């Protein structure tokens, strides 16, 4: 009897701990991934927690790839992503929790090319940007600038921004071997702001300390600035969606309420306040 009582006692304690753990999780939402989205994700969390103080939201970066790994390993509720999920990542998630993650578009971004504020260059074409970042053009004089070597700053390869830029701007080609890899978009911008010969890339909300260039699709096209109008219309050549991915089994209760709020008028106003671009109304509830 004592042995049975002891087993029952252990089960009771285990059940209590499980319930406690579930109760704690119910009031805490974790979001991990894209460094591009960190500023915006933290603003969303900050405002939402003032509205619903019983809900705690934890935001961490590390890159889109890191976020997808955490989603697969079920160590985060939400994955912030600056690119679409890849087929292999979908397969990994299906293997881990049996379903394809639900994708939510949450903002628009005009991926910007940044130079030092003292750099006289004001615009570049996509072929010129590709040539710079792949090492074909190595001196600013070849672009009408000063006789000075170009210093290329890039993101780490776990970054969704790195992958998007490589795929869509460099057409899959490798970055120049001399590119200096930085741990986040903010670090790229800080480096460019201090280096008069530097060039880098990142989300539209990270322009402080450097200047973004106008971008032309090709030499015969007009130079376009990344504004809300040009990004929403798709006339700015390097636009993209920003995403949140979630395990469908978790997309209920407080998590679902938070995701709906992010895509509401109030949540989308914060997108603009931070420096990205709100979703068109037609996309907000899809």
Scanning 113-159, the segments in alpha helix (DSSP H) are 126-134
Q: Phi and psi of 217, rounded to 5°?
A: -65, -40
Average pLDDT over residues 23-40: 82
Q: Which helix (H) or strand (E) holds 8?
A: helix 2-26
The residues pairing with 152 across neighbouring beta strands, listed in sequence order, are 199
- The pLDDT of residue 209 is 78
Strands (E), the chain: 28-33, 56-62, 78-81, 102-110, 112-115, 123-125, 151-155, 180-182, 198-202, 211-212, 214-216, 239-246
- CB under 8 Å to 42, separation ≥6 — which residues? 59
What confidence tens digit (pLDDT) does each residue in 222-259 have?
999 999 999 999 999 999 999 999 999 999 999 999 99
The domains located in the chain, with CATH, are 2-109+242-283 (3.40.190.10), 112-225 (3.40.190.10)
Structure tokens at 224: 């376009």
- The pLDDT of residue 284 is 63
pLDDT above 60: residue 199 = yes
CB 108 within 8 A of CB 242: yes
What confidence tens digit (pLDDT) does each residue in 94-108 have?
999 999 999 999 999
pLDDT above 80: residue 2 = no
Threshold 0.75, pTM exceeds: yes
């Amino acid at each position: 009897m004592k042995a049975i009582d002891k087993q029952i006692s252990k089960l009771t304690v285990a059940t209590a701990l499980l319930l406690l753990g579930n109760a704690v999780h119910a009031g805490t939402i974790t979001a991990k991934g894209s460094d591009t989205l960190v500023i915006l994700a933290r603003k969303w969390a900050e405002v939402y927690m003032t509205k619903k103080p019983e809900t705690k939201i934890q935001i961490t970066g590390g890159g889109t790839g890191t976020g997808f790994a955490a989603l697969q390993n079920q160590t985060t509720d939400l994955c912030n992503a600056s690119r679409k999920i890849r087929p292999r990542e979908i397969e990994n998630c299906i293997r881990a929790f049996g379903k394809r993650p639900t994708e939510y578009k949450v903002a628009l971004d005009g991926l910007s090319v940044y130079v030092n504020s003292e750099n006289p260059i004001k615009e570049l074409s996509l072929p010129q940007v590709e040539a710079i970042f792949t090492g074909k053009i190595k001196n600013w004089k070849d672009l009408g600038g000063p006789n000075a070597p170009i210093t290329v700053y890039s993101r780490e390869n776990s970054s969704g921004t790195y992958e998007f830029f490589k795929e869509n701007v460099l057409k899959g080609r490798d970055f120049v071997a001399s590119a200096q890899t930085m741990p986040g978009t903010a670090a790229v911008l800080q480096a460019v702001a201090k280096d008069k010969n530097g060039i880098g890339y990142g989300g539209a909300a990270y322009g402080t300390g450097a200047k973004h260039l106008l971008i032309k699709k090709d030499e015969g096209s007009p130079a376009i600035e990344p504004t809300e109008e040009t990004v929403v219309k798709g006339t700015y050549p390097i636009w993209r969606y920003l995403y949140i991915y979630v395990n469908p089994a978790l997309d209920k209760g407080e998590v679902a309420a938070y995701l709906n709020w992010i895509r509401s008028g109030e949540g989308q106003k914060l997108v603009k306040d931070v420096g990205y671009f709100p979703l068109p109304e037609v996309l907000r509830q899809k």
